[in-house]
C-alpha cells in the first residue's frame, strides 16, 4: 500500500514510539514532559482530523536496554524484564498526557499489574480501539528476547491494523547511516526483503517478517519535526514506506 496526499486516512494504526524519543537530547531527565505533551497533542489532532483508531507501542530505552545490560554480564531474561517495566513507566506518562488533552486512553500491559494497567486481552483491546479509545500497549510481548518493534508488529497483526507507523529520529530509511555518511540515500519505498537482506536497522528482522507475513506496511518517519505524527496518522507521505 503506497501513500499519497489523496490517500484516505488509515482506519486502524499502530504507532511505535522509541523510549529515547521521550528524552530531551542532552538532558539527564529520562522523560521530557514537554515532548510527551507534544506527542499527546499531535495524537489528539490526528483523532480530531479523522476517524482513525490508534494503538501505541512505546519502548523503554530512555530508562533501560536489556540487550546492553546483558552484554555487560546480566542474565538476559532478567535484563529484558527490567526493560519491560521501563515501557510501563513511559506508557503511564503518555496516558497522563493524553488524558490532559481530553483523549480517552487506556494502558494494557502484557505483564499483569492491575493497579496501574489493564492486562492485555486481544478482544478487549480491539473493542477499545473500535470505540475510539487510544490503547497504549506496555511491557512488550511479556516475553524476553523480543523487542518493542516486534511488539508493534505483533499487536498490529493481532488488532488487524492497516499500518505500523515507526516514529524515529530520522526522516526515513537510508541505504547507510545518514549521521555517518553525508551521501546516504533515502528510500521513498522499499520492500521488506531488502531491509532484512541489507540489515537496515530500522526494525529488527522478526518485526519485518511479521509485517511481511501479514501484509502490513511500515511507515518510517521523523518524530522530531512538529506535526509529523498528525501527518503520518492522516496518511500523508512524509517518510519511507516499507511494503
Q: Which strands make up the sheet holding 12-17, listed edge to edge?
A: 118-119, 105-109, 134-138, 53-58, 12-17, 163-168, 218-222, 240-242, 189-190
Residue 135 inside a domain? The answer is: yes
Q: Show the domain range for 76.
A: 12-242
CATH code of the domain covering residue 111: 3.40.1160.10
Binding-site residues from annotation for UMP:
60, 80, 141-148
Residue 5 inside a domain? The answer is: no
Binding-site residues from annotation:
16-19, 60-61, 65, 80, 141-148, 168, 174, 177
Residue 4 inside a domain? The answer is: no
pLDDT for position 203: 87
CB 55 within 8 A of CB 43: no
Alpha-carbon span 158 to 138, nearest angstrom: 15
Alpha-carbon span 56 to 156, nearest angstrom: 10
Quote the cell numbers at residue 196.
532484512
Alpha-carbon span 86 to 192, nearest angstrom: 29
Residue 120 inside a domain? The answer is: yes
Binding-site residues from annotation for ATP:
16-19, 61, 65, 168, 174, 177
Residue 208 inside a domain? The answer is: yes
Alpha-carbon span 85 to 185, nearest angstrom: 37
Indicate the DSSP class of residue 113: -
pLDDT for position 1: 44
Residue 7 inside a domain? The answer is: no
CB 236 within 8 A of CB 5: yes
Query: How many structural domains does the chain have?
Result: 1
Alpha-carbon span 89 to 35, nearest angstrom: 15
Alpha-carbon span 11 to 8, nearest angstrom: 9
pTM of the model: 0.91
What is the pLDDT tens value at each position of the chain, 243 positions in all? 444 443 446 899 999 999 988 988 888 889 999 999 999 999 999 898 888 999 999 999 889 777 788 778 889 999 999 999 999 999 999 999 999 999 999 999 999 999 999 999 999 999 999 999 999 999 999 999 999 999 999 999 999 999 999 998 888 999 888 888 989 999 999 999 998 888 887 888 899 999 999 999 999 999 888 889 888 877 788 899 999
Residue 174 inside a domain? The answer is: yes
Residue 201 inside a domain? The answer is: yes
Q: Which of 114, 110, 137 is nearest to 126 (CA)?
A: 137
Alpha-carbon span 68 to 111, nearest angstrom: 22
Amino acid at each position: 500500500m503506497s501513500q499519497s496526499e489523496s490517500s484516505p486516512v488509515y482506519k486502524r494504526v499502530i504507532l511505535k514510539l522509541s523510549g529515547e524519543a521521550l528524552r530531551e537530547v542532552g538532558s539527564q531527565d529520562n522523560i521530557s514532559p514537554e515532548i510527551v505533551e507534544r506527542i499527546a497533542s499531535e495524537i489528539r489532532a490526528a483523532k480530531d482530523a479523522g476517524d482513525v483508531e490508534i494503538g501505541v507501542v512505546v519502548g523503554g530505552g530512555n530508562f533501560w536496554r536489556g540487550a546492553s545490560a546483558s552484554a555487560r554480564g546480566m542474565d538476559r531474561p532478567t535484563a529484558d524484564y527490567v526493560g519491560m517495566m521501563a515501557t510501563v513507566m513511559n506508557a503511564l506518562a503518555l496516558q497522563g498526557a493524553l488524558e490532559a488533552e481530553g483523549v480517552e486512553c487506556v494502558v494494557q500491559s502484557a505483564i499483569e499489574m492491575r493497579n496501574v494497567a489493564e492486562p492485555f486481552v486481544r478482544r478487549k483491546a480491539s473493542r477499545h480501539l473500535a470505540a475510539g479509545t487510544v490503547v497504549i500497549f506496555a511491557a512488550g510481548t511479556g516475553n524476553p528476547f523480543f523487542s518493542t518493534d516486534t511488539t508493534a508488529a505483533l499487536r498490529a497483526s493481532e488488532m488487524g491494523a492497516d499500518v505500523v507507523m515507526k516514529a524515529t529520529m530520522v526522516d526515513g530509511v537510508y541505504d547507510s547511516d545518514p549521521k555517518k555518511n553525508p551521501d546516504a540515500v533515502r528510500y521513498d519505498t522499499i520492500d521488506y526483503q531488502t531491509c532484512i537482506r541489507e540489515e537496515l536497522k530500522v526494525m529488527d528482522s522478526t518485526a519485518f517478517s511479521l509485517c511481511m507475513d501479514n501484509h502490513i506496511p511500515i511507515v518510517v518517519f521523523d518524530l522530531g519535526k512538529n506535526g509529523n505524527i498528525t501527518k503520518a496518522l492522516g496518511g500523508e507521505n512524509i517518510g519511507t514506506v516499507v511494503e
